Structures are given as C-alpha cells and as structure tokens.
A and B are shown apart, each in its own frame.
Chain A
Amino acid sequence: MDLFIHQVLAGLATGGIYACMALAIVMIYQAIHHLNFAQGEMAMFSTFIAWQLIEWGVPYWGAFFLTIVVSFIGGVVIERTVFKPLHNAPILAHIVAFIALFAIFNSVAGFIWDFTIKSFPTPFGQESLFGSGLMGAHDAGMIGVTLVLLVLLFLFFRNTRVGLSMRAAASNPDSARLVGVRVGWMIALGWGMAAAIGAVAGMMIAPVVFLEPNMMLAILIYGFAGAVVGGLTSPGGAVIGGFAVGIIENLAGTFIPVVGSELKLAIALALIVTVLMFKPTGLFGARIVTRV
C-alpha cells in the first residue's frame, strides 16, 4: 500500500508535466481543431530562448515573461506565414505542415544550441517535499503553475469577449464571420496563446528532464494522450487527463510484471485507446448535441 501511494505521488509529479503539455495542446485544438505535432518542438525552442536569455544574465522571471511574449508573437507569425495560406488545404496537408515545422524547429535548435543536455533553473527550489524524495518543490510549483494557468484560461474563455469570439471562430467559422468575428485573427491569436502556454510548459518541464532539442518528444506523446483522455474540448479535462496518464504510467511500470520501465509508454497508450473505445470524446469532452 505504501508503495502504491508513493507511486501515485510520483505519478502526480510527472503527471504535472503532461498536464502542462496537454493544456497547451487543447488550447491550440480550441483554436484550430487540429492536433499540432510541432507543439512540443515549439515549446522546446521557447525554452531554449529562455535559457539563452538567462545565460545572457537576464534574471529568471524577466526571462520567463520575455519568453512568453516572444513565443506569443512567434506563434502568431507562424500562423500568418505558414498556416494562413493553407487554410483551404485538406487536413492531411496540415498534418504534413506540422511535421515540417517539427523538423525545422528540432534541427534549428540543434544547430544553434547543439544537442548536449543543459540544465535549466527552477524558481521553486529543488528540496524534496514530504521527505520522501518523490515529489519535490519544483514538482509542486509546476502543478501550481498549471492550475493557475488553467483557471486563467477558464476565465478568459468564459468571461471575455475575445475568448467568446475565439470559441465561436473555432466551432463555426462561417457563423462567426456573420456576427463580425475576425476569424483569421482569432486563429492567429489561438496560435499565439498556444505557443505562449507551450513556452510555460517547456520552462516548467526543462528543470526536470534537462534541456535538449529532443526533450519534448515523449512528453508530447504523453501530453497528447492526456489531452485525448481528458477530452480535447475541455482544458480542465486535459489537465486531469495529464495527471491520470502520469499516474497510470507509474503504476503500470511498477505493478505489471514484464512491463518494467521499457513498456510504460506502450501500456499507458494502450489504456488510453481503451478509454477512447468506451468514451470516444474523452472522459470530459463535451458531447455536442446537434439537431438537424
């Protein structure tokens, strides 16, 4: 039982990482109704920018917020330059464009900052909580940041006109135009926000996994899994899904023989597929009832 609780705690800590990423994924899904495969690489790139700023002597929080701003602008620019010309293209072309972006970010980051791992500072300190060595101050801080972000996003989408417009633009672009929503800009804004949230995720994750161009790959997959399990239409669901994936991954690795740490990923993904088969829109995804 003790082992179980320990593993759940440890799962919560890693789950925090996935939750953070899942939130970024759901954000962009809200804006463009696609899963962005380059999301992880964008986050990684943002994190390198923060690392560079800190190297240049910018204090942590200065670098943190500056990176968010730069990432936001970067996201908007990517949408306007790469994806706006594709907006009539079939979805398969979009996925290929994501793959292209993935390759570009990964390669450019490796070129500028090379592939050796770098440590990234945490603002929360490294000491261990509960004296168990399972959850550290940074893990707790990261979970806190994720939850704050979640609340801010919730308020933004629920209570602001821009948030409402973004939701309208994503769900029904034609109707949104007919009430005067500037759909193109809402999509760009969605990209900007997703990039900014991704940057936060990256900066929170980097102290745990070390910074290098490939750091996001597995995390992105877990993040997708969390987002999908929770429901792509629900930011809160995505966060819960992220935590769930972290916990499942840890428990499977510990309690299912043969699995070991090698197969954790596969087991987690298999569980997710199972969830989807019974709840195709995820655990918290809205079933949109439409009458004809």
Chain B
Amino acid sequence: MTIDRTIASDDAANTPVAGSATKARMVGGIPVAWQRTAFFIAVVIAIALPFLVKNFTIFQLTTVMIYAIAILGLNLLTGYNGQFSLGHSTFIAIGAYTTAILMEFAGLSFYGTLPIAATICFAFGFLFGLPALRLESIYLALATFALAVATPQVLKLSPFEHWTGGVQGLLVFKPEAPFGLPLNSDQWMYFVTLAIGLGLAVCAVNLVNSRSGRAIKAIRDNPIAARAMGINISLYKTTTFGISAAYAGIAGSLSAVVVQFVAPDSFTFVLAIGLFVGLVVGGVGSITGALFGGLFLVFVPNIAEEVSKGLAGAVYGVILLLVIYLMPAGAVGLIRTAAMKLATRRR
C-alpha cells in the first residue's frame, strides 16, 4: 500500500494554473495576495490572543502549537516522504526527557537544552531510519508502533531511574519572561513556542520546495524512478526520518517546560496515534495543516467530553469519522477547495 497523493498535497500549490499569468498571481488556484493576507491576519491574531484570553486558554493554545510542531515533523516523514510512523511519541519523549534531565542534572537553561534535544532526536531518528529502510508501509507502521509501546516501559526501567525519575517522572522548571518583559510565564512560553513554530514552519516550507524536497517527494511517488534519476534513496529517507524526529524532539522539549513535568505515561502510544490523527485531519502533505491538526487534538476531546461524559470516546470517534467523510483531504483540503471556488467566481 502506498500513500495516496490526491490528498491536499502542496505539490498542487506549486503548479501555476494555466492562463492565470495575466491576472493576479495564483498558486494552487488561489491568489497569492489572499494567501499573504490570510497569513498576515493569522499572525496578528496569534500575537494578540495571549492578551485577550485566560491563562488556561493560553496554555491550551501553546499546547496546540506544540502538537502542530510535532505533526509538522510527522508530515515531513509521512506526507512528503511516504514513510509511516505510529511512533513519534517516542521522539517527543526523548526531547522532553533530554530537556528535563539536562535542566535538572546539568543545570542548563531551557534554551540551552533545546538544540541538544533536537540533535539527539535527529540522531535517534536517523538511526531508526536505517532499519526502517527495509520495512514497507504496514510493517513500518507496526515497527514504529512497537517503538511507541515500548517507550514508556523503557522510561520506567529501574537502571535509569536515577535519571528519569522512574514512574514518578521529573518536575521541570518553567522559565519566566526575561528582560523584565511584562509577560507572565504562560504568555512568555506562548511566544517562545510561536516563534519556534513559525521558524520551523518556514524551514519546512523551504525544505519541501528545495531540490532536496523534490527528491524527498520523488521517493514517495516513485522510488524506482527516483533511484534511476540517481537520488540516494537511503540517505534521503534516513535524513528525513532524522529531521522529522528532530521536530518531534523540539515539540517534546517545549512540552516539558510548558507542562512543567515529564513522566512515562505522558508518552504512550496514545500520543503517537493522536499525532497521526492530527496529521490526517489537518491535511497530509500540507504545512498549514499541522496547525489544524493541533487544534483538533486539543479541543475535540474536550468537546466530546462536554457532549457526553460517559460516551466521550464514542463521540470523539463519531466526530473523527465525520471529519474524514466531510474533509477527505483534511481541513486544509477543504479550505483550499473553498478558496479556489471563490477565486474562480471572482474572475
């Protein structure tokens, strides 16, 4: 089984629509001006929000962005490179524990741990990418899932207990805003996450549109042809795995300080499955989709709780089914179709 590409792929966005050159510049059937405006409005809202809502909501929004970063990483791997992962919770865990342990035992500041977490996760991802080369689709899905299942158990192991805190986990200190900025720590971490998230999104966009990005996508679409074109498949696949894991690791690192706590049971396979759901719901092969995926992961379970306490899981399941019926190409697919219709009507 191969991953279908008819889904909200950004590839489509890169082919200018014929005959549109004379009018406004278009990408993917949507005027670039619209996309710019939408992005600008989104950034303005994102900056204004933490001054308008409760601290708990700020915390939730920060969590949305953290999920979005991890989903973005998963998307690079699954959406653009065609490799399954049901095990990205592992890399989140590695990132989170790296930060927690370094802050606790090495006295590093959070900001100092971030690049280390990313690097360690890249290395782990790259190494895991090596056996992954020999596994295809469902087999890879199962192997990564095994990783996700094993992770909390490894974290609980007694030989590591001194470092990991065992079942109890570790408390993590949440940084305050520096330079006397008039922000509370929730607001500060929100902005830190926003800045990192935007930076990573820009990196992702540049990556997928680069030469290497084309190679990554070519491998997904047609590995045989890609090899014939002289693309080093193994190198690209393992590197993509590493980059994807690094994204997840950064998300994990952020989550450790935002939640102020790391424990094995925060990183079960349920988290990995959640990321996968976020990926599909947001839009496979779409950078902006990650944000919608994050929103879904944070808010839909709450909504389900509110509809029915006893049957929250069932409500969640039904919502999930409705989402894939109504938006088979994810939230971004839906938005893109709507915008394209609007754009054509205006012409």
Contact = CB atoms under 8 A, between A and B. Distances in A.
Instruction: Establish whether A and B are touching in the complex (CB under 8 Å).
Output: yes
Interface in B284-318: 284, 310-318
Interface in A55-105: 82, 85-86, 89-93, 95-97, 99-104
B150 interface: yes
B318 A262 contact: no
B328 interface: yes
Contacts, number: 138
Interface string B105-146: 000000000000000000000000001001111110111011
Given A92-B280, A97-B324, A111 B149 contact: no
B12 to A, nearest CB: 15
A106 B4 contact: no
B146 A266 contact: yes
Contact of A269 (B139, B149, B157): B149
A269 B154 CA distance: 13
A100 B135 contact: no
A22 to B, nearest CB: 12
A258 B134 contact: no
Given A266-B150, A269-B146, A273-B143, A91 B313 contact: no
Contacts of B146: 221, 225, 266, 269-270, 272-273
A158 interface: no
Nearest to A91: B1
Contacts of B3: 90-92
Contact of B314 (A89, A108, A266, A272): A108
A274 to B, nearest CB: 8
B284 A96 contact: no
Task: Output the residue of A33, A85, A92, A263 with the most chain B CB within 10 A.
Answer: A92
Describe B's contact surface by its main secondary structure.
helix
Contacts of B318: 100, 104
Contacts of B153: 262-263, 265-266
Interface range for B? 35 or more
B313 A262 contact: no
Given A82-B321, A104-B313, A277-B131, A99 B143 contact: no
Interface string A101-122: 1111011101100000000000
A90 B131 contact: no
A107 B159 CA distance: 37
Interface of A: 33-35, 82, 85-86, 89-93, 95-97, 99-104, 106-108, 110-111, 221, 224-225, 228, 232, 258, 262-263, 265-266, 269-270, 272-273, 276-277, 280
8 contacts: A86-B325, A91-B2, A97-B320, A100-B317, A100-B321, A232-B138, A266-B150, A280-B135
